[in-house]
Chains A and B, each alone.
Chain A
Amino acid sequence: MTTTASTAGSPFEYAPAPESRSVVDIASSYGLFVDGEFTPASDSGSFKTVNPATEEVLAEVAEATEEDVDRAVRAARRAQEKVWGPMPGRERAKYLFRIARLLAERSREFAVLETLDNGKPIRESRDVDVPTAAAHFFYYAGWADKLEHAGYGPDPRPHGVAAQVIPWNFPLLMLAWKIAPALATGNTVVLKPAETTPLTALLFADLLRQAELPPGVVNIVTGARATGSALVNHPDVDKIAFTGSTAVGKRIAKEIAGTRKHATLELGGKAANIVFDDAPVDQAIEGIVNGIFFNQGQVCCAGSRLLVQETIAEELVERLKARLGTLRVGDPMDKNTDVGAINSPQQLARITELADAGTAEGATRWSPDCELPSSGYWFAPTLFTGVSAAHRIAREEIFGPVLSVLTFRTPAEAVAKANNIPYGLSAGIWTEKGSRILWMADQLRAGVVWSNTFNRFDPTSPFGGYKESGYGREGGRHGLAPYLIEGSTY
């Protein structure tokens, strides 16, 4: 049987369709955004950020010292006590709506810069990252004057200063997930973007000045691990929101143990995408592809473990391979690119190591024919069949475009296998039987369960983990809770 839909050798070759980068001005160097001003680091230290698709240096970015972090936290405290905290919710909402509108207006600029700095396809930054980021601000703007009706008591209060540390996989979107609820609830923010992807956060700082947000309400300190550690451990921080690896999340939890700090941690995942034999097969194929190859699989909730019912496993894998043959891997700035660059050489090394372990442990590795660019960090979409639950590629988060295919026979076995992992961030169920969807969703220990879709993000829906995937929820009404102290004046 052949289900070849491969576009290789098609007479319909898509000509290059590059998005223009002229829409964005990248400065040669960037300072820290503290108290409404860009300033250099106290020791004038800096680091380079590169385009992972070309290895071109995009800019020099200031590396915040402990002293800089302290200055940012003090600015945030001042702004919280004097301006942002006392400000009525309906006034805070106006700023948030303004930020949302400006993000939408400047969406092309943000999309291009995100793709240059991160390596993700422009199609995704344009159609997912930036519009979803704007949607988050719109959504939380609506909550700002309704907090007393949110179910957290009649008079919920902000914590004060929120320290937020975000990852490199969705730099702007994670910024929006963090900043929007913090500001809506009256907290002020010191945010540290990831060291490989600081540029959209710095462009966002420029947008905040355009929105005339009062100085100090949002401060952005760029840097690496030391900067993050200084921020998290600063004594005047009230609340920590972290998205990133489970290892760093655990370290943060230890460091703040015994302090008054509140924290939410959104960590790793190894999601099961479960396909039953009565699934809508063509849409399931799309969901599997979107689940693991969206953003090169560098997604904490990626559907990296495909659990297929044995009755259709062979056929489904054939169809999946045919579909992968149509994926367009390459220049992230090309509007037709489906799979872009890996964010950093360190991440590429990690993916390569785990994929090699898959081969060494006896799983069967397959990738479609695709020519990878000669410079930059690239990893071809990869499929492993014959994967056993004991293999590392079935246990460890790869955070790359690598899918492990496992099989199951009964719904109970699917649940057992899906849950048999230290993580619990997300899961997918593909079946046309509604009752089974409800039963499965009830059994799966995952913060998000998608049915007949995958990797859909909406500001109205809470997101977060079970087990080692972390605690706390972001998005929706639930996303307000971590930024509020429940009111008790009755």
Chain B
Amino acid sequence: MSTTTPTSVAETGRAGTGTAPATPGAADRSASEIADLARSVTGSASLDDTAWRRYLHGLPGVDKVGADGRAAALSTRSIKTTSKAWALDTIIRMVDLTTLEGADTPGKVRALAAKAVRPEPADPTCPSAAAVCVYNDLVPVAVEALAGTGVKVAAVSTAFPSGRASRAVRLADTRDAVEAGADEIDMVIDRGAFLSGRYSQVYEDIVAVREECRANGRHAHLKVILETGELATYDNVRRASWLAMLAGADFIKTSTGKISPAATLPVTIVMLEAVRDFRALTGVPIGVKPAGGIRTSKDAIKYLVAVNETAGADWLDPDWFRFGASSLLNDVLMQRNKLATGTYWGPDYVTVD
């Protein structure tokens, strides 16, 4: 039950007050603080594969039937009127508006950036999206288009989506994006290493990428993509979540969007339980980002319900919860207008990106 035995960890980490997480959370922990925390939590000085296996496999298991049942039960919540209005605006504020295609161009990224800043140009009360998420080479375009708007630039790096490149290449990829001004780096873990039990390699990868995010006085937030569709079991999702959090992730993210299944509600709930327990143990809040496959307001609201009733209200904030999505925003805008005017827009009233 090492996940929740406070012991000395509470003192080495931040104070676990249970109040709102302090922004920017894990970002300003030093590399040595992170390593100390990992050693203290795992109870091992070496942090080798054996130590990680002993720790990660000692986490409480996840019963799949029960986890799926819990997700199904939360899905029956009926969110109407004022609570729906609040939820829709909150979803917009949490969206990482994403384009990750080989055919992406500067023009497309600029269009997406404009939409992220003002999703509904006719309505000044409509909030901006959280970020625009692009491939590395388009970071400069996004940075220029979003300068001064408060909308962040997120870059998928580390040989996204497979991550199948040498560590040097993946780090160079990250450096590229950070130097081009990306505020947030969405890295992928080496699923092959994870599935073959080379946990220390995954840990060291994340630590190294995190160092790149903070090189030269920069402070890019690090989102660690677990690619839960390839990890296959909820037990693996829980283990990968803890490994990433202990390696210094600011966010844990479900998926690249390139693998099916991408984000699912039960997987996201398992990750929300992990961040909840991690904060209880260490005092450090970590964000969660489901990505891929969330296309409708109705689905996104289920995720907000799950956040509210699993991790708690502290996570109902774009600093701690994001949606990686492309088509979701349009559906939210249409629902938002329906709620305000009673009339449902056709798709011609929202922009095709």
Contact = CB atoms under 8 A, between A and B. Distances in A.
A7 B69 contact: no
Interface in A9-35: 9-17
Interface stretch (B30-38, B70-78, B342-350): B70-78
B16 A1 contact: yes
A7 to B, nearest CB: 6
Contact of A2 (B17, B80, B308, B309): B17
B66 A452 contact: yes
Contacts of B65: 283, 452-453
Contacts of A14: 77-79, 83
A14 B305 CA distance: 9
Interface string A354-382: 00000000000000000000000000000
B316 A315 contact: no
A319 B60 CA distance: 14
A136 interface: no
Interface stretch (A188-196, A203-211, A273-281): A273-281
A460 to B, nearest CB: 17
B316 A280 contact: no
Given A7-B313, A335-B78, A278 B61 contact: yes
B66 A1 contact: no
Interface size class of A (residues with CB under 8 A): 35 or more
Interface stretch (B121-129, B152-160, B212-220, B272-280): B272-280
Interface size class of B (residues with CB under 8 A): 35 or more
Contacts of B312: 4-7, 10
B78 to A, nearest CB: 4
Given A5-B309, A279-B60, A12 B66 contact: no
Given A12-B86, A280-B60, A452-B65, A336 B77 contact: yes
Contact of A277 (B1, B79, B276): B1
B277 to A, nearest CB: 7
Contacts of B10: 1
B281 A283 contact: no
Counting chain B CB atoms within 10 Å of each CB, the highest count among A4, A123, A311 belongs to A4
A283 B76 contact: no
Interface in A232-283: 277-283
A3 interface: yes
A326 B309 contact: yes
Contacts of B196: none
Contact of A283 (B18, B67, B78): B67
Interface in B186-237: none
Contacts of B90: 12
> Chain A: interface secondary structure?
loop
Contacts of B313: 7, 9-12
Given A4-B18, A336-B78, A12 B311 contact: no
Given A1-B6, A452-B65, A12 B316 contact: yes
B86 A283 contact: no
A105 interface: no
A287 interface: yes
A127 interface: yes
A7 B309 contact: yes
Given A5-B309, A11-B316, A283-B62, A315 B86 contact: no
Contact of A282 (B6, B18, B60, B281): B60
A485 interface: no
Contacts of A286: 66, 69-70
Contacts of B86: 11-13
A336 to B, nearest CB: 5
Contacts of A11: 86, 313, 316
B210 to A, nearest CB: 26
A319 B281 CA distance: 13
Counting chain B CB atoms within 10 Å of each CB, the highest count among A3, A10, A286 belongs to A3
A315 B5 CA distance: 8
A330 to B, nearest CB: 14
B62 A311 contact: no
B84 interface: yes
Contact of B66 (A127, A326, A453): A453
A10 B90 CA distance: 13
A54 B8 CA distance: 52
Given A12-B87, A13-B83, A15-B81, A1 B280 contact: yes
B109 to A, nearest CB: 32
B149 interface: no
Interface in B1-60: 1, 4-6, 10, 16-18, 60
B89 to A, nearest CB: 11
Interface string A303-338: 000000001100100010000001000000001100
Contacts of A15: 79-84
A127 B10 CA distance: 42
B316 A10 contact: yes
A432 interface: yes
A282 B62 contact: yes
B310 interface: yes
Nearest to A277: B1
Nearest to A452: B63
A331 to B, nearest CB: 12
Counting chain A CB atoms within 10 Å of each CB, the highest count among B6, B60, B70, B305 belongs to B60
Contacts of B84: 15
Contacts of B309: 5, 7, 326
Counting chain B CB atoms within 10 Å of each CB, the highest count among A1, A6, A123 belongs to A1
A385 B76 CA distance: 32
B281 A123 contact: no
B113 to A, nearest CB: 28
Given A1-B4, A5-B310, A282 B83 contact: no
B75 to A, nearest CB: 11
16 contacts: A3-B4, A4-B312, A9-B313, A11-B313, A12-B90, A14-B78, A15-B81, A15-B84, A17-B80, A123-B76, A279-B60, A280-B61, A281-B60, A282-B67, A432-B61, A453-B66
Instruction: Give the 5 A-B residue pairs with the shortest CB-CB distance, closest first.
Output: A283-B66, A2-B18, A10-B313, A17-B78, A280-B63
Given A283-B65, A432-B63, 4 more contacts: A280-B61, A282-B60, A283-B62, A452-B63
